[in-house]
Amino acid sequence: MAFFLFIGGVHAEELAENAESALLLEVSTGKVVYEKNADKKLAPASMTKVMSMLLIMEAIDSGKLSFDDDVVISDNASSMGGSQIFLQTGEKYKVQELIKGIAVASGNDAVVAMAEKVSGSVDAFVEAMNNKAASLGLKNTHFDNPHGLESENHYTTARDMSVMAIELLKHEKILEFTSIYEDYLKKPDGSSVWLVNTNRLVRFYEGVDGLKTGYTDQAGYCITTTAKRGDMRLLSVVMNAETSDARSKDTVNMLNYGFNTYKLDILLSKEKDLGEVKIEKGNVTSTKLYIEKDVTILSKVTDDKEEYTYNLVVEPIKAPVSSEDIVGSLEVIDQNGNVIKEVDVIVKEEVKQANILQLFTRAFNTITSGFPI
């Protein structure tokens, strides 16, 4: 006898009836609310570029690379087949132009040019991709190239793809590129190449601002999509649908289900001052504490709002302390006394070590404060 799970007015299997594999989650909590064969290894096609863009954005945020850096197009990059933005050997472009070419038009030539820029060679970049996958705990992912053209040992899963996508979304600047529906790339000779987003949902579904499509004969039609409405951001993955319309239909079904069925409550804002902590041997004696990110809870729109308590756990702190250093954690406790979430606690102020004069003055004040005047 077949068993069908009924959720939100539709059968669960109907949310992604066209895809071989699919997944839907809420980004801030990481809570998966729907999945179908989410751990099945499949070819990702150009969704591979989610990992490629992640390494590029990390290089930029670390200072290794700048949006304004020049990139000279190699023979290898210009010879790439598949989707491309028609780069020619010897042409020079800014990093930001090539990122746009990857994010919007899925340019294989652009991503190879950036792989060479970031790591010196495509092979070194692919090694970095696999190292990053390992560091994220992705045991069902392996990359052979930075673009996603068919290769026997090139695969991932819907679940692993969601982890990569969440990591990429931490670099919020990427959404300025993935949300572009159409634009032009100016070439050095004065001509222009029209770039139109391979993700049509950017234009036709409210809140969609990324992330990456894919297609090859082996992979079928794939898409990793993110959409935000209000405070809630959803992420969906569709792998191996038969047509572009089918992958869009499954994506829309999942996003509609997520937005219609769930709500996100911000229990505690990352901007809230949690109080002060003493700093040993610092140039100041205390500094304020904050949580690293908002404390959010995902629940169904039909659920009653729960009450939570918090437990702040901070170890003794010695100077020096850098801004954004993690100094403890905040436990979120439900009505049954269970710790349901832990969030890192940080300081936002740099605290240097006190100099000898400051330490002497404090010691003197401590001693003299005990004497009557």
Per residue of the chain (373 residues), give pLDDT as tens. Answer: 333 344 444 455 589 999 999 999 999 999 999 999 999 999 999 999 999 999 999 999 999 999 999 999 999 999 998 999 999 999 999 999 999 999 999 999 999 999 999 999 999 999 999 999 999 999 999 999 999 999 999 999 999 999 999 999 999 999 999 999 999 999 999 999 999 999 999 999 999 999 999 999 999 999 999 999 999 999 999 999 999 999 999 999 999 999 999 999 999 999 999 999 888 888 888 899 999 999 999 999 998 888 899 999 998 888 898 999 999 999 999 999 999 999 999 999 998 887 777 656 656 665 666 545 4
Point out the catalytic residue in the list 49, 100, 212, 228.
49
d(C-alpha 40, C-alpha 219), whole Å: 12
Point out the catalytic residue in the list 106, 179, 236, 248.
106
The phi-psi region of residue 37 (left if phi > 0; otherwise alpha if psi is between -120 and 50; otherwise beta) is left
Which tokens hold the place of 361? 């003055």
- Taking CA atoms, 160 is separated from 129, 140, 293, in Å, by 13, 7, 23
- Known active-site residue 49: yes
Q: Which domains does the chain have, with CATH numbers?
A: 8-263 (3.40.710.10), 269-357 (2.60.410.10)
d(C-alpha 194, C-alpha 180), whole Å: 12
- Known active-site residue 52: no
Q: At what angle do helices 49-61 and 122-135 cross, to 10 degrees?
A: 90
Point out the catalytic residue in the list 21, 28, 46, 74.
46
Q: Are strands 276-280 and 317-318 parallel, antiparallel or unpaired?
A: parallel
Q: Is 177 helix (H, G, I), strand (E, B) or coil?
A: helix
- Radius of gyration over alpha carbons of the chain, in Å? 25
One DSSP character per residue, 215-266 reads EETTTEEEEEEEEEETTEEEEEEEEEESSHHHHHHHHHHHHHHHHHHEEEEE
- Known active-site residue 248: no
Model pTM? 0.88
